[in-house]
């Protein structure tokens, strides 16, 4: 069984080396692909120096576009592991995420993060995502609807593509998996990433995220009526 880890990255030079180093300790991963989404820093150079296969995009495509580009280079894996580039040392938890899919317990596993401490957001985007999943996907009470850390078997990958654009990737993936009757599990982890705070940059980021999730839900609602 061939497992490929796919990591979209945009200007993650400060954390990508730690993420890849931690991931190297996880058993069962055959290939690691980093998709550099037209970064302006040394993300691609650092990822290559760490031994990852790097797909370097000329233009920024956003997360969904970067994932699509990476899948094309993954050569039809049995299991695809999706990870964010900023996990740093906590990427070592990827084995916990992989286990339900590798053992056949689930078709899709989703990493749940510990409750954030400090200046996190107000939960508006998460609330919208959870509502949309229940409304458009089915009776699945998603505790981590926005988590980008996921493992999918081959059938799930086929059912969930194409990846939605922007920050709507995860919500669309969950809804399409539920519509396909796949088995989803959320796995508690100690993963952590560079979360945004309650400053101007944080609010701008969450505003974009809210818009992308809302747009994805609208497209999925239209998709269901066809």
**Segments forming the whole domain that contains residue 9:** 3-225
Distance between CA atoms of 10 and 148, rounded to whole angstroms?
Answer: 14
SS3 assignment for 16-68 = HHHHHHHHCCCCCCCEEEEEECCCCCCHHHHHHHCCCEEEECCCCCHHHHHHH
Per-residue DSSP letters for 186-202?
EEE---------SSHHH
* Whole-number pLDDT of residue 6: 98
Report whether pLDDT(122) > 70.
no
Distance between CA atoms of 13 and 6, rounded to whole angstroms?
Answer: 17
42-47-49 Cα angle (round to 5): 95
Q: How many domains does the chain have?
A: 1
Assign 208 a pLDDT band (cuts: 50, 70, 90): confident
Report whether pLDDT(154) > 60.
yes
- CATH code, domain with 94: 3.90.550.10
pTM, to two decimals: 0.92
Q: Give the pair of three-digit tokens for residue 90.
A: 């906590």
29-88 pLDDT, tens digit each: 999 999 999 999 999 999 999 999 999 999 999 999 999 999 999 999 999 999 999 999
């Amino acid at each position: 069984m061939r497992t490929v880890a796919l990591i979209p990255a945009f200007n993650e030079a400060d954390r990508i080396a730690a993420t890849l180093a931690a991931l190297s300790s996880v058993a069962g991963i055959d290939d690691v692909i980093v998709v550099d989404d037209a970064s302006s820093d040394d993300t691609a150079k650092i990822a290559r120096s760490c031994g990852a296969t790097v797909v370097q995009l000329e233009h920024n495509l956003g997360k969904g576009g970067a994932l699509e580009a990476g899948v094309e280079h993954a050569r039809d894996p049995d299991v695809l592991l999706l990870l964010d580039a900023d996990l740093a040392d906590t990427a070592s938890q990827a084995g916990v995420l992989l286990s339900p899919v590798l053992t056949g317990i689930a078709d899709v596993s989703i990493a749940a993060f510990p409750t954030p401490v400090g200046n996190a957001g107000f939960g508006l985007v998460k609330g919208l995502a959870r509502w949309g999943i229940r409304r458009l996907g089915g009776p699945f009470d998603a505790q981590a609807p926005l988590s980008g850390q996921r493992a999918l078997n081959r059938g799930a990958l086929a059912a969930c593509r194409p990846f939605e654009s922007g920050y709507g990737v995860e919500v669309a993936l969950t809804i399409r998996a539920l519509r396909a009757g796949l088995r989803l599990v959320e796995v508690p982890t100690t993963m952590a990433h560079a979360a945004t705070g309650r400053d101007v940059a944080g609010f701008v980021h969450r505003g974009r995220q809210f818009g992308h999730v809302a747009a994805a839900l609208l497209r999925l609602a239209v998709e269901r009526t066809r």
